[in-house]
Amino acid sequence: MKNRLEYFLFLLFSLTFRLLGLNTSRKLSGFLTFIFYYLIPIRKKTVLENLTNAFSEYDEKKIQNIAYNAYNSFLTAFIEILYLAKISKQELEAAVNCPNKDLIETKFREEKGVILLSAHFGNWEYVAASVALQLNLPFSVVVKPQRNPYVSDWMNNVRTRWNNDIVSLGLSIRKIYQTLKEKKIVAMVADQRGPQESIKVEFFGRKVSVYVGPVVLALKTGAPILYGIPVRQKDNSYKIVMHEISKDNLPENDEEKIIELSQRHTTYLESFIRKHPEQWLWMHKRWKH
């Protein structure tokens, strides 16, 4: 019953935004931010703790300001995601500017598969859908099923409106490995907290556990890792520049290779978060273990 009620509200929001249009709906993000930051403060304590851990040099006022803007960024992305069911192909293509998207084509032609990494930054859902459309190349998008199965099905339907297909994270790394062996492009996000037993790397001066899947796959298959982080612009479009995570000069030991390569892509993400801290999703306990 709870799932059905949540799904009904989810659809109601989606219908409202679709009727209002995307530009008008985005203007509601300020109103929603006030509600969910002050009146219904979902995960606010976690956001403030994370920001304090990351930016210990900042005073409380600056931390609060970043936190408030982070809620606004997330709710803007939420509105945009709910509008995906209506967005046209032309609108979606125009929503993301990827000036060096030809790098994906170049790596794809090497026939080793391609791993596209992104993060919960800006609007991560737009990246795979828009860039795949622009290149006319299908991406296999690795997704973690939502807690609510109705919402999960809705999300997967809009993710596959165009070229892309879905690889469920629950199918294990073997399915993703097979997809890469078939010389396909796999897109995933890997910036949330990894299992407690996972390897640890430095993130904002603290050790954090990370998911090693992308790195292990890259080392086993030879697939390059291209990291693209969508930064929201003043006009609400997104700019994403693909960056290849170098595999040069890795240690000889396999475990040390995984740690070093994981550190490289984590450091790259951190550099973007430092420039645009309000655009990263701070709502999960990144430093829990």
Predicted pLDDT at 172: 63
Residue showing tokens 């939502």: 146
Pairing of strands 225-227, 114-118: parallel
Q: Is the confidence at residue 62, as pLDDT, over 80?
A: yes
CA distance 77 to 215: 28
Label residue 93 by pLDDT band (50, 70, 90): very high
Contact 114, 217 (CB under 8 A): no
Buried b (16+ CB within 10 A) or exposed e, 70-99: bbbbbbbbbbbbbbbeebeeeebbebbbbe
Nearest residue to 164 (alpha-carbon basis) of 184, 183, 146, 181: 184
Label residue 196 by pLDDT band (50, 70, 90): confident
**What share of residues in the chain are helix, strand, coil (percent, to 5)?**
55, 15, 35
Most distant CA atoms of the chain, gap in Å: 57
Average pLDDT of span 70-74:
98
Lowest mean pLDDT among 50-64, 139-153, 269-283: 139-153
Domain boundaries, the chain: 2-279
CA distance 285 to 193: 7
Contact 231, 240 (CB under 8 A): yes
Average pLDDT of span 34-62:
96
How many residues are present in the chain? 289
Predicted pLDDT at 146: 83
Predicted pLDDT at 171: 56
How many helices (H) does the chain have, and how many strands (E)?
12, 11
Predicted pLDDT at 176: 87
pLDDT, mean over the chain: 94
Label residue 257 by pLDDT band (50, 70, 90): very high
CA distance 156 to 85: 11
CA distance 55 to 206: 11
